[in-house]
Chain A
Amino acid sequence: MAKRTEILSQILKGEKCFDPYLFCALHGAAMTVLGVENCAVLTHGPQGCAYLVDSAFAWQEADWIETETLCTKLCEDEIVHGGEELLARTILEAKELNIQALFVLTACGPEVVGDDIVAVCQDLQSRIPFKLIPIECAGYKGSQYDGIDIALDTILRKLSRNSRKKIPRSVCLIAPQANANPTWVGDLAWVKQTLSQMGIQVVATLTYKTALSDFDNISKAEASLLLSHDAGKKAADYLSSQLGVEQICQRMPLPIGMSNTERWVLELGKRFDVQGLAEKLVAEGERMVADTLRRKAWGVSGESLDLRLLYRMPVAIIADATIGIPLVRFIFEDLEMTPELICLRSSQPHAMETLETEVEALGLNPKIVYNTDVYEVRRSLDEIKPETVFGSNVERHAIEGLGIPLIFEVVNPMRQFRLVNRGYFGYGGILNLLELIENDFNDKWRSKERRYKARW
């Protein structure tokens, strides 16, 4: 309460602005439904809101020649009189599309004026050859993570069926897209590969290149594996309470870094009774990391990866919870740096509990900020004054003038252009992170200011 009062008084004094990291709920919902194959998305809103859908498009590696995105392009007339008629007309015009389902997403305007998209879809369903799935995800309902939860909840309630028959050693993967690694598909690929090596079948992924029929089978999964600390927990809870799909690997950080990966893989092995395989995977992975570093850490250009320079350096972690929480142990144990500030972009209760348990177990006492915005990050950086930041390109600018010499860009948005998916999960992920750290460490000598001085 005191904090709220303090924030309000700062706003009134003009001392605080909110500069959010995240998009709104519509973006999260779009990010989710675009992961379902052979479907189209119709945004019921003004045309600017459809831009959010377009930005979610690439996040799911969707393809313009396969996936249609439509928009009702609401104008003043529809805000005054309601846009149900226009929505109905647009759906009828889309009926020629060769798709299995049309996801209808709402922006803020139509929900504020009371458009009932569920009723419109129900009324039209008999005249449309594909499934109509309305999702009420107005931007004001929260962040993109809330949008993911809303979309998953709606889709599961509409499409999943309860099956008593379980597929032995099977899982469904939840919310891989709620991950600020700009090439999160690399993380998902590692998870799928690891599961496959352990003989565990993936029944469905919610969502990435998911077939609509996967939702029919979802209750046949023995367990669910949540791949995000930012979103998807509600879907996991729904699956366990309504469809008897057990949640596994709960209350532990995702597999980033040596210890986290070991713990996560061994937990999977224990649950599916393949401990031997799990131990073998861990041993092989650790050996691969050690061998690679021994052979390649001395680069061809003569630059070496010298982690001793980072030893006990005070660090700030500014990230989403999915990457940020596991980074704490990776940074502290593997890199031997000291996290002194942790700012997370969300505040899911289970994620907060996981982080606080981790921090306590490691004997750390960092300042923690949940649901952070850029203003709060800069203020906290100024207060804590770490020597290094693990963050994004936003923090590269936010640290200007604060005397913080190093920034490692690990989460979205980042300057690095990637075509190949690079995961942070698992043993390959450790090498990817070390590569990033080394490149950004060298990059510090290439500041704009230094180049300018060198030239003139």
Chain B
Amino acid sequence: MRQIAMYGKGGIGKSTIASNLSMALKEMGLRVMQIGCDPKRDSSRALAGGRLIPTVLETFREELRIGKDKYAISLKDIVFEAPSGIYCVESGGPEPGIGCAGRGVLTALQILSDLKAFETYGIDVAIYDVLGDVVCGGFAMPIRHGYAQEIYLICSGGFMSIYAANNIAKAIQRLARRGDTGLSGIICNSNGDERLERKVLPVFAQSLGTKFIELIPRSPVIQACEVEGKTVVEYSPNAEEAKIFRELAQKVMENNSSAIPTPVEELSDLEAMYREHLPR
């Protein structure tokens, strides 16, 4: 089974890419499970027809309230099969401002593992859509505990998104020493300046010791699908964008490289690298 995780700056488009990638992998005949690792619980919205599904932690709390434990949870209560046949899970988490979201994500993943969700559904590919940024040790838990084995960084050509990706690479570098986890590549979710992105991101990927995988263009089609709570592959299967997601799925499945990244240590070096590719 392949276990793929999407990391990147908040709002960069991880859920959009994860959902479309899941859909494209499903089209390839694979059994796919997408796991949203974010208290916002909106990762699988586009797969579940625009609705928000109940979360693992919510269900777990209900069981605890009646004096039961996680083994009282039925997989049917936390794993939802989308109309497309993709299995969707949302970890859920605490209300903003209290509790520990990182610990929550790990608890949810542990429950899935203990209930043998992957084995039960015969999953070929699990896609973890991890929340925003590596802001504390808790958010790194999916990596630390070996759930996220192939990590893809999502970024655009915006400097701050590259900066965030570099920080995440630092966390991966620290955590990858423990086991099978590694950085598998960079996927660009374009902010519109494709010319710059096609120059700067391959260089950035090279400096991290990984590959530049694909550029997803900024497109009104993708935005329209998002509003409708659908994936492009499903809602507009003949669009150019759908073709790009299918290519991305192909590349991800063919990509067997997974490296311990070598992030850029100094901010000034990152700035210099970026500046080199800006139009004069």
Contact = CB atoms under 8 A, between A and B. Distances in A.
Interface of A: 75-77, 79-82, 84, 112-115
B97 interface: yes
A79 B93 CA distance: 11
A80 B57 contact: yes
Most buried by B among A76, A79, A112, A114: A76
Nearest to B102: A80
A80 B104 contact: yes
Interface residues of B, number: 15
Contacts of A84: 98
Given A76-B107, A112-B100, A81 B64 contact: no
A101 B95 CA distance: 31
Cβ-closest 5 pairs across A and B:
A82-B98, A80-B104, A82-B99, A81-B99, A81-B94
A80 B101 CA distance: 6
Nearest to A76: B107
Contacts of A82: 94-95, 98-99
7 contacts: A77-B60, A80-B57, A81-B57, A81-B98, A81-B104, A82-B95, A84-B98
A76 B103 contact: yes
B97 A80 contact: no
Nearest to B136: A112
B97 A81 contact: no
A90 to B, nearest CB: 15
Contacts of B101: 80
Most buried by A among B94, B95, B98: B98
B61 interface: yes
Contacts of B60: 77
Contacts of A75: 64
Contact of A77 (B64, B95, B97, B98): B64
Most buried by A among B60, B93, B95, B99: B99
Interface string B81-104: 000000000000111011111011
Contacts of B100: 79-80, 112-113
Main secondary structure of the interface of A (DSSP, over half): helix
Contacts of B99: 79-82, 113-114
Contacts of B95: 81-82
A265 to B, nearest CB: 54
Contacts of B104: 80-81
A84 B99 CA distance: 10
A228 to B, nearest CB: 36
B94 A80 contact: yes
A113 B98 contact: yes
Contacts of B57: 80-81
Most buried by B among A77, A82, A112: A77
Interface of B: 57, 60-61, 64, 93-95, 97-101, 103-104, 107
A79 B103 contact: yes
Contacts of A77: 60-61, 64
Contacts of A80: 57, 93-94, 99-101, 103-104, 107
Contacts of A113: 94, 98-100, 103
Nearest to B100: A113
Nearest to A112: B100
A79 B107 CA distance: 10
B110 to A, nearest CB: 9
Given A75-B64, A76-B107, A113-B103, 14 more contacts: A79-B99, A79-B103, A80-B93, A80-B101, A80-B103, A80-B107, A81-B94, A82-B99, A112-B100, A113-B94, A113-B98, A114-B97, A114-B98, A115-B98
Nearest to A77: B64
B136 to A, nearest CB: 10
B181 to A, nearest CB: 23
B107 A81 contact: no
A95 B100 CA distance: 29
B109 to A, nearest CB: 12
A75 B99 CA distance: 12
Contacts of A81: 57, 61, 93-95, 98-99, 104
A82 B100 CA distance: 7
B56 to A, nearest CB: 11
A114 B96 CA distance: 11
Contacts of B94: 80-82, 113
A79 B98 CA distance: 9
Nearest to A78: B99
Contacts of A76: 103, 107
A57 B101 CA distance: 35
A197 B100 CA distance: 57
A81 B107 CA distance: 11
Contacts of B61: 77, 81
A80 B70 CA distance: 15
Nearest to B64: A77
A69 B86 CA distance: 51
A84 B57 CA distance: 17
A115 B94 CA distance: 12
A79 B106 CA distance: 12
B209 to A, nearest CB: 25
A311 to B, nearest CB: 57
A199 to B, nearest CB: 55
A71 B58 CA distance: 25
A115 B95 CA distance: 12
Nearest to A75: B64
B279 to A, nearest CB: 45
A60 B60 CA distance: 41
Contacts of B97: 114
A80 B98 CA distance: 8
Most buried by B among A81, A82, A112, A113: A81
Nearest to B61: A77
Contacts of A114: 97-99
A113 to B, nearest CB: 5
A112 B103 CA distance: 12
Contacts of A112: 100
A114 B102 CA distance: 13
Contacts of A115: 98
A114 B100 CA distance: 8
Nearest to A85: B98
A332 to B, nearest CB: 50
A113 B103 CA distance: 10
Contacts of B103: 76, 79-80, 113
Most buried by B among A75, A80, A81, A84: A80
A79 B60 CA distance: 13
